[in-house]
A and B are shown apart, each in its own frame.
Chain A
């Protein structure tokens, strides 16, 4: 894929990729932008190569997920360093401005999603938000289809329960 074609594809998928990056970073906008920029950089300088085994979207989401996980690990390590207080490292909490901009319903949904285990949250996001199939979601999350299906089913039950609790 030529660099121009790559850029066109990234431009087309940018809003979806940003939503996925937000989900991977627990709603932290700064961390999501950081993860997205790093992912684009990896793709454009050839450190992440699209080999055509999956769809471009599935592959891009897998790159974003892997990059966000790496940044999260690095941020967690930095918080343990003695001079961590001097630098502004994202703490993984949602951006207050982003939370305020959301409607009550979406706020309730993100609050409930935050309480789910990471895998369940990821699979639900990929299926409901990104309209991927469970097999595609399994590809992105790096798990088997059976495992993804289990996370999907358990996640749905847990999410409905949490949303019902919120309403009461």
Chain B
């Protein structure tokens, strides 16, 4: 609702409205164009659906092929066929610190220094 002192603006807008109305395309032309556009829609919709199916199947294929692969590259350790040559005999001995009085991992027993003969 416009105010009483807004007649100047009102007149300008009404002049614009008359100019726009004179240049407006006929309703039936607009409606016919809309209907033509609507008739073309199903084909576009089918194409869109087909594209969506292709994208989804590629995504599923990628997921399935990548499932076994580790996600963190830093944890990957390459195992070569000659890897066994690097293992040393009894290398467990080099990795553990022997403790006196206890049986070690390798099965060796150590001497108890506090043991006294009867």
A-B interaction: yes
* Central interface residue in A41, A45, A105, A156, by most chain B CB within 10 Å: A41
Residue in B12, B16, B27, B33 whose beta carbon sits within 8 Å of that of A14 in the complex: B27
**CA A7 – CA B28 in complex, angstroms?**
10
* Central interface residue in A10, A15, A103, A110, by most chain B CB within 10 Å: A15
> Are the C-beta atoms of B2 and A127 separated by less than 8 Å?
yes
User: Which residues of A from 74 to 118 have beta carbons under 8 Å from B?
Assistant: 98, 101-103, 105-106, 109-110
The verdict on A44 contacting chain B, using a C-beta distance below 8 Å, is yes
The verdict on B102 contacting chain A, using a C-beta distance below 8 Å, is no
Residue in A15, A36, A37, A125 whose beta carbon sits within 8 Å of that of B13 in the complex: A125
**CA A29 – CA B1 in complex, angstroms?**
28
Interface residue tally for chain B (C-beta within 8 Å): 25
Task: Encode contact with B along A115-131: 1 for CB under 8 Å, 0 otherwise.
Answer: 00000000011011100
> Are the C-beta atoms of B2 and A128 separated by less than 8 Å?
yes
The verdict on A159 contacting chain B, using a C-beta distance below 8 Å, is yes
Interface of A is mostly: helix
**CA A163 – CA B6 in complex, angstroms?**
14
Residue in A18, A40, A44, A124 whose beta carbon sits within 8 Å of that of B24 in the complex: A18
The verdict on B15 contacting chain A, using a C-beta distance below 8 Å, is yes
**CA A148 – CA B27 in complex, angstroms?**
30
Chain A residue numbers with a CB within 8 Å of B23 are 29, 98, 101
A-B contact count (CB 8 A): 84
Answer whether A105 and B1 are a contact pair too, CB < 8 Å, given A18-B20, A38-B34, A44-B38: no
Chain A residue numbers with a CB within 8 Å of B25 are 18, 33
The verdict on A133 contacting chain B, using a C-beta distance below 8 Å, is yes
**CA A128 – CA B7 in complex, angstroms?**
10
> Are the C-beta atoms of A106 and B16 separated by less than 8 Å?
yes
The verdict on B62 contacting chain A, using a C-beta distance below 8 Å, is no
Residue in A101, A105, A128 whose beta carbon sits within 8 Å of that of B10 in the complex: A128
The verdict on B59 contacting chain A, using a C-beta distance below 8 Å, is no
A147 to chain B, nearest CB (A): 17
A114 to chain B, nearest CB (A): 12
> Are the C-beta atoms of B33 and A37 separated by less than 8 Å?
yes
Chain B residue numbers with a CB within 8 Å of A163 are 12
Could you write out 11 A-B pairs with CB less than 8 Å apart?
Answer: A7-B31, A18-B20, A18-B24, A33-B25, A38-B34, A40-B31, A41-B34, A44-B35, A101-B23, A128-B14, A129-B17
* Given contact pairs A45-B38, A101-B19, a sample of 13 additional A-B residue pairs in the complex whose CB atoms are under 8 Å apart: A10-B31, A11-B27, A18-B30, A19-B20, A19-B21, A40-B31, A41-B35, A101-B23, A102-B16, A103-B15, A109-B13, A129-B17, A156-B6
